[in-house]
Amino acid sequence: MSLKQSQLSTLAKELDRSYKTLLEEVRDELETPQHEQYIELIDRGPADSADEAIGDALADINLAIIDRHVSEIRDIEAARARIKDGSFGTCVDCGGEIGFERLQAYPTAKRCLGCQQQHEKLYANQRTHTL
């Protein structure tokens, strides 16, 4: 049983909402002063190695947040492309159907639950993001 048009429309709206939210969050991260605590440390005088380490940690955290948001944006764009080409809701591994309930919980899912569990077992030790 494939997705009904009303289900597809609901999921497309959720993808659009998430996309807009993520774009706003990335813009906010990039436009606002990111490291107010670090700036305060620098303004106090010469930064010691602990102050520099804190600043570096804050920078790494911000980069990780932006990286995660960009990854989610790409997943949404890929899901939108699957909607356009008619493959949305079809597992990329087995070709089976991805259930509506799974797509409601995770609209960018590209695997059915069984294949996703298998994928996670096979690739559990591989890291996907590094700074």
| Amino acid at site 27 | R
> What's 5-122's CATH class?
mainly alpha
Helix, strand, coil percent values for the chain (each to nearest 5): 65, 0, 30
Phi-psi region of 86 (alpha: psi -120 to 50; beta: other; left: phi over 0): left
pLDDT band, very low/low/confident/very high, at 128 (cuts 50, 70, 90): low
pLDDT tens per residue across span 67-125: 999 999 999 999 999 999 999 999 999 999 999 999 999 999 999 999 999 999 998 87
> Phi and psi (nearest 5°) for 126?
-90, 130
